[in-house]
Structure 1
Amino acid sequence: MATITVHNSLKPGAPVPFVPKEEGKISWYACGPTVYDLSHLGHARNYVSTDIIRRILTHFFGYKVNFVMNYTDVDDKIIIKARRKRLLELEKQKSYTPEQIHDLVSKAFQAYAKSSLPLLLSEDNTANLDESSYQELKDAAYSRILAGGTLSGEGKPSDAEAKVKMHLNNMDSAAQSLKNGASLEGAEEILLPYLDSLYKETIDTSDQTMFTDLTQAMEKAFNDDMIALNVLPPDAVTRVTEYVPQIVSFVEQIIKKGFAYEADGSVYFDIGAFEQAGNSYARLRPESKNDKALQEEGEGALSKSLEGKKRSGDFALWKKSKPGEPYWPSPWGAGRPGWHIECSVMASDKLGDQMDLHSGGVDLAFPHHDNELAQSEAYFHDCGKGEHTWVNYFLHMGHLSIAGSKMSKSLKNFQTIQDALATTYTARNMRIVFLMGRWNDGVEISPDMRKQADSWETMLDNFFANIKAKLSEAGSATAAIKDLSLTENNSNGLTEELKQAKKDLTAALSNSFDTPAAMQILLKLVRNANIYMNDKSTQSNLQPVEAVARWVTKIVGIFGLDPSAQPPYEGLGWGPANPIAAADVDPQTAVKPYAAVYETVKKEVESLDLSESPIKVVLEQQSPEAEFAELEKSGERDVEKLALPFIRATSRLRDELRGVISSGATLDPKLKQTILALSDRIRDYDLTDLGVQLDDQADKPSLVKFVPAARLIAAREEKAGILAEKARQKEEARKAREKAEQEKLAKAKMPPQAMFKGDAKYLEWDAEGLPTKMADGCEVPKSQQKKLKKEWEKQKKLHEEYLAKA
């Protein structure tokens, strides 16, 4: 195997050699989602990038990867969301008058401002804040943020400013609701935390379905998103709620070793004892070790009131459950697992006391992953044997940012994966965007990045369409090329380019999975293949281009860019970005649109008066139905191949129509116009709408290409738009010319003796109508007389020409 280097967060800096503990095999644990809400593009960045690396290790370098991922299905976020949802349901069941609803929402409005937007309030009370005063107070307190500035007045906006804007948006909605009479639905974002503060301890959590209903629904939604993004499923999945007894045992063992202590029903990890035993804490992010904000975030929003810590940095392994929280039995009383302990227990259960890879988003490095490492290494600590290594390589995926802030649910600055796939992306071009950035770098999706990704995809789309069309035209793809090697003409330039591209790609992927370099290598090779394919001197030998196309197909398959492809990716080209699985294809249904187009065109051609044309013979000889039947009988399920008999038959009829026009035969003008219109419609509408492009060729049948219908339709509409704009400009120019001619004619009708009469600037004129005195009684200056005389003579000439034509 090739020597691989990786960026290992445990050893910051240059990539280090990757050496799995067992040759040819890799154990890998990935932090999965906290299933409390729909997944967004930030999650897509993490899990698609992880999937790309996994595919490269498996299908390019040949490792057997054991990939384990967890679902966090008990967590502060889950508890809060499920509990608040239940509280809102209960609140809606109460019989409130409109005045009582308004009063409730007003109190929630002020409470929300006090906790989240303190600058809105006066120093000692909230009396001045209501829906009427809100806008003025908001503008005064947060104008700098609203104008794109920062809270401090320095630097660039980041997560803190994004959070303020999110809170202001929630207040905006609530203020509008209050102005409109107030309703529970219109002010949910500010009402839910208020209800939680009032009634959270009244919720009966002995029935945990309120939590499991949420987590199970969100887990299914996440799985659906991953399928849509062509992310491979894990080899094993773990859930926190299925591991609570093991978690309790794990925590007990850490206590026994002296690295944890119980306090008031909770258990905390003892960082001081851990370090005194010769272990290192915060190895991933030592600079964040004393960051209180991150420590608090890691403990969770519901843990602020837990007491008994020896040090502020000590973190919870087991949390005492308060009223309104789910609970399980333990030696320390009713409680629930801490956030970090879950991954230590589940990963160790599946992969043992040491794993090759651990991955997750970069925002998990501290405290989550650092705490995972500490408690796991404490669990496996063997006194006298030195520090235990639980993870050999930590991979942290760079996060996705929006206007400088990471995309997150808590900031509400996200687009869900479902929405993104429905409105903005296909799974393929989203993956291309991520491939064009380093997996460990942050990504901010800009218009320029989208444009580059679209261009890359279009280049490969066109390349695959062209080579498949040319091979189909030549007969069939040469089976001898399927091993991706060339046995003849080794001096051929394209052959050498392919050999070099293979070496370069191996080097790029060996260098910490450098996919941006890999994408450029593929792009360069495809460009050179296009040059070769368009060179008339080499067009008869398509084998080198086919070899390139098959190798590129293999690589894009490995990268996960073809949802319909399967290892070892030996096909030619990629399928649709959102395909129907081959096994689900009903041949008769799949070809119905193509067969319908052929039947329509056939009937229209038969109705034409072309008895002297060879087209009648073509109509009699063609039998696409029989060709299709043979393909169906053979078990073929590739929609393009199944449709090809009908497409070729349609294209041939169109070629014959073009031949009638170009033959020079005398045709009735109406018939000629009908043939031209039919020929254009077949190409530009009938086949375009099915994703089929016809390229006209001189003295040869049209080249049939399969291109995404959306692209062809967009190109057609763009062309129509350009033509319409040209027609509009032409019409405007015609109208301008007409207007100018009319103005010129109107001017020519005027005798020169009358042209200055009536002008208020002048008081007297001579016999020829030239001004002699200005309005103030002064003589017209000589310099002005000369100018006026020239204008008079010009008008005299123009008027004489008019009279001559009249």
Structure 2
Amino acid sequence: MAGSSAEQGKGQRTQQPRWAPPLGTEPCRLRLYNSLTRNKDVFVPQNGKKVTWYCCGPTVYDASHMGHARSYISFDILRRVLKDYFKFDVFYCMNITDIDDKIIKRARQNHLFEQYQEKQPPAVQLLEDVRAALKPFSEKLNTTTDPDKKQMLEKIQRAVALATEPLERAVQSRVSGEELDAHIQGLLEEAKDLLSEWLDSRFGSEVTDNSIFSKLPKFWEEEFHKDMEALNVLPPDVLTRVSEYVPEIVAFVQKIVDNGYGYASNGSVYFDTVKFASSGKHTYAKLVPEAVGDQRALQEGEGDLSVSADRLSEKRSASDFALWKASKPGEPSWASPWGKGRPGWHIECSAMAGTLLGASMDIHGGGFDLRFPHHDNELAQSEAYFENDCWVRYFLHTGHLTIAGCKMSKSLKNFITIKDALKNHSARQLRLAFLMHSWKDTLDYSGNTMESALQYERFLNEFFLNVKDILRAPADLTGQFEKWEDEEVELNKNFYDRKTAVHEALCDNVDTRTVLEEMRALVSQCNLYMAARKATRRRPNRALLENVALYLTHMLKVFGAIEEESTLGFPVGGHGTGLNLEATVMPYLQVLSEFREGVRKISREKKVPEVLQLSDTLRDDVLPELGVRLEDHEGLPTVVKLVDRDTLLKEREEKKQVEEERRRKKEEATRRKQEQEAAKLAKMKTPPSEMFLSESDKYSKFDENGLPTHDTEGKELSKGQAKKLKKLFEAQEKLHKEYLQMVQNGSPE
């Protein structure tokens, strides 16, 4: 019996195709160069997307310099990338060191020198004091082995000697009044460092007012924050000052002692590196183990005021370092279980970071030169306090900064302040220079470095201005969506390939150098596309170019290279004004440009050159003063661009120089041509019979036509010589005939 229709249908049903998800590709993961492992490690925060980050801040005793900018701009870029690109929730903590040997010494010296100046020492007394100060200074110079430091000290010595001579002559000549005062002031300025050191060695222990030691760091901290704001460096989420955390530091030191890794000695407390390293639970000097025992580095870490025979004898081991320092006369002090004293340098970061971030943080940042002993000592004392072995998960260290290839050092007086750097270049230009280099490598701050940054900024800005001009062209809603040809498909593919490359570069230790090169390549591709469209009188695709420009703008915002809320490209208008200058003035400039085009068209038709000249003057002289550039293109509408006024004026000056050089070369070529023609005419005037007669230094006898037959010694010329001279004679004969013909025809000479 045949089966039912339902059963037949079931047997005939075709098998449904199976669906499988696409294979896809695994997105790259962020890797950071970790100084602890000296490798690029995959970045995995301890608590989901939250990142705890501690950054070593400045010791505020002088002006912030480009070395500070190197660290804080670089960390600002890294922080922004983690926060705004990778979408981590970053909690950023930074300290201010306002208790330190350098601060104490500088504050005392400034105070004592100001007192000395106020007393207005007479010339004879000043000369005597300078001679006295030179004795220990010369001893210091003679014992200095560091070539850079020696060169700096020799420079000071020469400057003091040059300033001393005119004052000595003035005293001998019994000069008085303003002239003498000028010589005294000149010596005081040049000998300030010398006298300050000398005064401090004599009277430093008598300085007891604690306000003297807080006034200096308070002033320079304020200046530091101003510099960071000027550089568009984001403020930390929390700022800690050593002076505000002394109780926490005392408690931190006490626990290290209680845990058996610290010991009191003569009112100071030291970290026992030997006991820590031999505990079986800890490792000392994780970052730079090869530096263990480097006494020079260890002494620099202890500070100038803390290195003495007495202090060294207090230690169980030469590698031990101070957690708490007993204060000597002339130093600020706070109460502690061990007596009046002050925090050591390394302990401040451990206590403050530990208080806010706990027993383990994700990232710790600082300059490359802080690895040992500062950061290694931080690690040791923190792990001794928490009894763990993972206080920091990722240690990030920014590279050194050199100035035109030379080591930069505040102590060597070879540094450029941030304020001075900002007089020559904008914060964006400095940041672009940093972005063009790896954050962990040495960066050379030089004219070539900054010129590369300026060229990159101009290159991007021109692209943004061109895209803005395209987007301003009127188009209805339908016209915004144009059909894509092969060129658009190719450009869009390039766009997405570049975005992928940018992402991979950022995953690779935040490689901003490669990112900027990928962005440059993308802009170059867009420029070729726009140029090809212009050549064929076709409109470029608005939406595609806008997408590229918006992406580039977004990346520059991520890097902090665009400071304000600019929708597309670099903002136009004063920082913090809240004024969108472009949106405000561009409609009026567009009307002006269209009016000018109409006037120029009529002027050409009616042949009125004066009006055309006025139009050129408006373009070349008037509008650049207002930050407006007009670009005339034959057969196309004038392009209107808002550009920084100084940039336009510089462009105008460069254009004038090029034109002047072109004019000079043209005049030079005309002059040479005239000289050549005059020389040729003078030669043409000479009859062939006379051309050799004046060369008596070569020939002594001539034939009836004026051709030489004998040389100066009376020797008959060879056939070859005679043949050569005859050729010259015939050529001159031809030239002279041309000249006679010109005269006959009435041609002017």
Quote how far apart the aligned CAs of 1:60 are.
Answer: 1.2
CA distance in 1, matches of 2:320, 2:548: 57
8 Å Cα contact 1:471/1:477 also seen in 2: no
Quote how far apart the aligned CAs of 1:257 are.
Answer: 1.6
The structure whose Rg is larger is: 2
- Counterpart of 1:454, as a letter, is L
Quote how far apart the aligned CAs of 1:797 are.
Answer: 4.6
* Gap runs ≥5 in structure 2: 1-26, 169-186, 744-749
Task: Name 1:199's counterpart in structure 2.
Answer: 203
Task: Summarize the alignment of residues 319-334 of structure 1 with structure 2, pairs less than 5 Å apart.
Answer: 319-334=325-340
Among 36, 43, 51, the residue aligned to 1:18 = 43
TM-score by length of 1: 0.80
1:533 is paired with a residue of what secondary structure? helix
1:279 is paired with a residue of what secondary structure? coil
Pairing 1:433–2:433 present: yes
- Counterpart of 2:559, as a letter, is F
8 Å Cα contact 2:156/2:190 also seen in 1: no
8 Å Cα contact 2:603/2:609 also seen in 1: no
* Cα distance change of structure 1 residues 488 and 176 upon mapping to structure 2, 3 Å threshold: same
Quote how far apart the aligned CAs of 1:20 are.
Answer: 1.4
Task: Name 1:397's counterpart in structure 2.
Answer: 398
Among 338, 341, 347, the residue aligned to 1:335 = 341
8 Å Cα contact 1:462/1:707 also seen in 2: no
CA distance in 2, matches of 1:34, 1:165: 25
- Counterpart of 1:339, as a letter, is W
- Counterpart of 2:288, as a letter, is R
2:133 is paired with a residue of what secondary structure? helix
- Counterpart of 1:215, as a letter, is P
Quote how far apart the aligned CAs of 1:453 are.
Answer: 2.8
CA distance in 1, matches of 2:620, 2:485: 41
Task: Name 2:576's counterpart in structure 1.
Answer: 581
Pairing 1:34–2:59 present: yes
* Cα distance change of structure 1 residues 755 and 540 upon mapping to structure 2, 3 Å threshold: closer
CA distance in 2, matches of 1:229, 1:294: 31
1:181 is paired with a residue of what secondary structure? helix
Task: Name 1:86's counterpart in structure 2.
Answer: 111
* Cα distance change of structure 1 residues 769 and 522 upon mapping to structure 2, 3 Å threshold: closer
- Counterpart of 1:675, as a letter, is V
Percent sequence identity is: 42
Pairing 1:61–2:94 present: no
- Counterpart of 2:102, as a letter, is K
Pairing 1:503–2:509 present: no
Quote how far apart the aligned CAs of 1:712 are.
Answer: 2.9
Quote how far apart the aligned CAs of 1:755 are.
Answer: 4.2
8 Å Cα contact 1:250/1:345 also seen in 2: yes
2:191 is paired with a residue of what secondary structure? helix
1:68 is paired with a residue of what secondary structure? strand
* Cα distance change of structure 1 residues 539 and 746 upon mapping to structure 2, 3 Å threshold: closer
8 Å Cα contact 2:127/2:164 also seen in 1: yes
8 Å Cα contact 1:2/1:61 also seen in 2: no
CA distance in 2, matches of 1:650, 1:112: 69
Quote how far apart the aligned CAs of 1:789 are.
Answer: 4.5
* Cα distance change of structure 1 residues 764 and 539 upon mapping to structure 2, 3 Å threshold: closer
Among 175, 183, 188, the residue aligned to 2:161 = 175
Among 295, 300, 303, the residue aligned to 1:297 = 300
Deviates most, 535-544 or 63-72: 535-544
CA distance in 2, matches of 1:369, 1:744: 81
Task: Summarize the alignment of residues 656-695 of structure 1 with structure 2, pairs less than 5 Å apart.
Answer: 656-662=598-604, 664-665=605-606, 667=607, 672-695=608-631
8 Å Cα contact 2:141/2:154 also seen in 1: no
Task: Summarize the alignment of residues 162-241 of structure 1 with structure 2, pairs less than 5 Å apart.
Answer: 162-181=148-167, 183-202=187-206, 204-205=207-208, 207-241=209-243
CA distance in 1, matches of 2:683, 2:191: 69
8 Å Cα contact 1:48/1:231 also seen in 2: yes
2:348 is paired with a residue of what secondary structure? helix
TM-score by length of 2: 0.86
8 Å Cα contact 1:688/1:712 also seen in 2: yes
Paired residues in the alignment total: 690
8 Å Cα contact 2:530/2:540 also seen in 1: no
Among 13, 18, 30, the residue aligned to 1:4 = 30
Task: Name 2:101's counterpart in structure 1.
Answer: 76
CA distance in 2, matches of 1:170, 1:367: 30
Among 282, 292, 305, the residue aligned to 2:285 = 282
Task: Name 1:265's counterpart in structure 2.
Answer: 267
8 Å Cα contact 2:488/2:541 also seen in 1: no
* Cα distance change of structure 1 residues 516 and 800 upon mapping to structure 2, 3 Å threshold: closer
CA distance in 2, matches of 1:489, 1:790: 68
Deviation per CA, 1:494-551, whole angstroms, max 9, x where unpaired? 3333333333333322222222222223222222333333443873531111112112
Task: Summarize the alignment of residues 599-678 of structure 1 with structure 2, pairs less than 5 Å apart.
Answer: 637-662=579-604, 664-665=605-606, 667=607, 672-678=608-614
CA distance in 1, matches of 2:195, 2:544: 67
Pairing 1:312–2:318 present: yes
Deviation per CA, 1:524-580, whole angstroms, max 9, x where unpaired? 222233333344387353111111211221111111011113xxx8x222214x842
CA distance in 1, matches of 2:477, 2:135: 72
CA distance in 1, matches of 2:479, 2:403: 48
Deviation per CA, 1:670-725, whole angstroms, max 9, x where unpaired? xx221121121222222223332223345553222223333333333222222211
Task: Name 1:524's counterpart in structure 2.
Answer: 521
8 Å Cα contact 2:248/2:351 also seen in 1: yes
Quote how far apart the aligned CAs of 1:34 are.
Answer: 0.6
Pairing 1:705–2:641 present: yes
